Amino acid sequence: MTTTRPPAPTSTPAHDHGMAEFGYRESLSRSIGKFASFAAGVSYISILTGTFQMFYFGFGTAGPGYLWSWPVVFVGQLAVALCFMELSAKYPVAGSVYNWAKKLGSRAVGWSAGWLMLTASIVTLSAVVLAYQLNLPKLWSGFQLVGDGTGSHDYATNAVILGTVLIVFTTVVNAFGVRLMAMINSAGVFIELIAAVLIAIILGVHVTRGPSVFFSSNGYGAGQSGGYLSAFLVASLASGYVMYGFDTASSLGEETVEPRRTAPKAILRALLASFVIGGAILVFAVMSAPNLGDEKLGTTDGGLQYIVEQVMWGWLGKVFLVCIVIAVTVCALAVHTAAIRLTFAMARDNALPFGEKLARVSQKHRTPIIPAVVIGVLAALILVINIGQPQVFTVLTSIAVVMIYLAYLLVTGPMLWQRLKGGWKPQELVEAGYFSMGRWGLPVNIFAVLWGLGMAINLAWPRSAVYGGPWYNTWGAFIYIGVITGAGLIWFGLRGIRVIGVLASHAAVESEVTA
């Protein structure tokens, strides 16, 4: 297989979109505008998908007080996002996390970040599509295709069927090109944002209690080692599960118009919108719930959907459930899209098996089709695990979040190292008129690294409340991540280290790099 090392450019011209630094030529369709870039980040975070899918876990573990984890996670992820904004202003390339880690650290660091992010993204796609089961049967009983939902495997089996249908949809859309994906995604996000704001307003109108409910443990954590703090740390997984994926805007940088200006703004706006609107929904939901002692608020068949159904009358509740289904759909589409761009980015560096095939771009649709199909098939296969062993799937889903936080850490960590040794020069961004944190860059970067470490440890901590039993599930974060990382590093050590390099079919010619 023919590979070539990219020449070392002396500078990065503004019109080159930062690709010359990596020795890549443009091969994707540059057609994404400002709103579509913003929508990509919002749909991955997905206000309605994440909040409605994980509310039951947070509330059931720590009660109303778990919502304090929402601003805590936001502050931590904002620090990460600010670092990513600087990076996207300089390097708005596909598979951003992989390429940034490679540029800031080393080939091994970049490959590790990409491998963790890619495997986690595929599992995340499987997890997101399961949200169909939480909503579709509530709209119409006909969506419960297996049994009546009361059988021991009815719920899980039906979730796999509905989820597989959604994966087929996202695969087909992504195979037809980024323009169709962006149109569907933007329309879906527009509907999601309007619905989310209206849900927050209507819940706010129906509040039955004051904010004092958030300043009490309400009995949660009693009898536990560490008391309420232990319960709160476990429940924070619900917020940590939602606020990531904002890097999707930068991962689509090679398909975005004026990416060095558009991507940083899209990252910040996506995170801010998700925090404000999602937070309003969660706060007003707790304040408007008819009975906070209702056990269904902490179960998968209850949760936030249950509150919405109780508070909103008849047809209106159904309308908002439709909007949630739309949000789940575009969220799955965005996750699939981001995973495809990451696969393409690693494959054109020959950093994955069958790199030449995975990096092939359709001349008709200007998009990598094979990664779309491969990721769709893998995600559907992972779904099957959920039928007989739902706890294993919960473990894998939780671990996927940990892996994404670790992948982010493999970017912010090397970035901090570059700052400390003078290798990162934000002044160049300022002079070019692009986003820069200026003198705040170092403290923000330090906080982002400390946050990433703390959150990864908290999420991976062996707790039966999250991972269940037996012991290999309880310690699943360490065991499964170790196995996944180990398997990847074996390939990297035996073959990858010898063959990784920009494929000749994707390498920029000398004149493009030095222009």
Bond before 470 cis per omega within 30 degrees: yes
List pLDDT tens digits, range 295-352: 999 998 889 989 988 888 778 888 988 999 999 999 999 999 999 999 999 999 999 9
What superfamily does domain 27-498 belong to in CATH? Amino acid/polyamine transporter I (1.20.1740.10)
As given in the structure block, the two tokens for residue 424 are 């990162």
Q: Identify the band that residue 389 occupies on the pLDDT scale cut at 50, 70 and 90.
A: confident
291 φ, ψ (degrees, to nearest 5): -145, 105
Average pLDDT of every residue of the chain: 90
Give me the residue spans of the domains in the chain: 27-498
Query: Is the model's pLDDT at 6 over the cut of 50?
Result: no
What does the pLDDT read at residue 510?
A: 57
Q: Identify the band that residue 123 occupies on the pLDDT scale cut at 50, 70 and 90.
A: very high
Most distant CA pair in the chain, distance: 69
DSSP 503: E
Query: Is the model's pLDDT at 515 over the cut of 70?
Result: no
CA separation, residue 197 to residues 164, 202, 266, 276, 284 (Å): 30, 9, 19, 10, 12
As given in the structure block, the two tokens for residue 145 are 């295709």
List pLDDT tens digits, range 190-234: 999 999 999 999 999 999 999 999 999 988 988 777 889 999 999
List pLDDT tens digits, range 390-404: 677 678 788 899 999
Query: Is the model's pLDDT at 181 over the cut of 60?
Result: yes
List pLDDT tens digits, range 422-466: 999 888 899 999 999 999 999 999 999 999 999 999 999 998 888
Element spanning 4, H or E: strand 3-4
